[in-house]
Amino acid sequence: MKKTLLLVLLVMISTGMFAQESSPAIETQPSSKPSIEAFPRPRLGDQMLSISAGGLLPLFFQFTKDFSTTPTNLSFGGFGGIKWAGYLAESHRLGFDFGGAFSSSPNGRMLYMVPVLFAYDYMLYAFPFEAPIHASMGVTFNSLGDLFHIDPVIKIGTSFLYDYAPDWSFGINVHYWWIMQLYTDDPDSPPPSQSAFGNFLELSLVAEYRIR
């Protein structure tokens, strides 16, 4: 009887040792993917500051008298801007958009535009990406040679951002500018028949910093 019990114990011990040796060691490796928990959504009181730089493509002018269109005859230009906004909620923010753009005409005159805008963004999230839908309006200070004019402007578009870190995002802007160049009988400005809507497309890179 004792020999039988001893044999059973030896079999059990040897079986357990074999099971331990044959079981592969499981090691947990830290994930290199960003965790959504480390990227909290904005809330009321948070702010953001962004800087952008890129190109401005003149598209066409549309005259107000008959809505006919004509090429701008302006070269592909440059753009740079700074934007600040405060969050009203996770998906809504209001702020100000400042910038500067330039382009040249065929006779060598330079067009300079300095827009000052009140901006609204509606935020779309798909971690780790964001897509602010942008709408803003204000005025732009325009200078072409000796001519100077202040024109209303509307800018709409979107940005495509990658959340690189909780406070930093990088991406591109695609914005459409609609500038209302409305003239009166002022002898120092073009005649009213030259009133037109200027259409421009902004393509720029953007870096956005969030202040929590």
CATH class of 43-211: mainly beta
Predicted confidence at residue 184, as pLDDT, reads 81
Mean pLDDT taken over the chain: 86
What phi-psi label fits residue 65: left (phi over 0), alpha (psi between -120 and 50 degrees) or beta? alpha
More confident residue, 36 or 61: 61
Question: pLDDT tens digit string along 128-157?
Answer: 999 999 999 999 999 998 888 899 999 999
Rounded to a whole number, what is the largest CA-CA distance in the chain?
124
- Residues 165-187 have a mean pLDDT of 92
pTM of the model: 0.79
Summarised one tens digit per residue, pLDDT across range 10-60 is 445 455 544 454 445 445 555 555 566 677 888 898 999 999 999 999 999
Output the pLDDT for position 180. Answer: 94
Which residues are bridge partners to 77 per DSSP? 56
DSSP single-letter state for residue 40: P
3-state secondary structure 127-193: CCEEEEEEEEEEEEEEEECCEEEEEEEEEEEEEEEEEEECCEEEEEEEEEEEEEECCCCCCCCCCHH
- Using 50, 70 and 90 to split pLDDT, how confident is the model at 66? confident
- Between 127 and 193, the higher pLDDT residue: 127
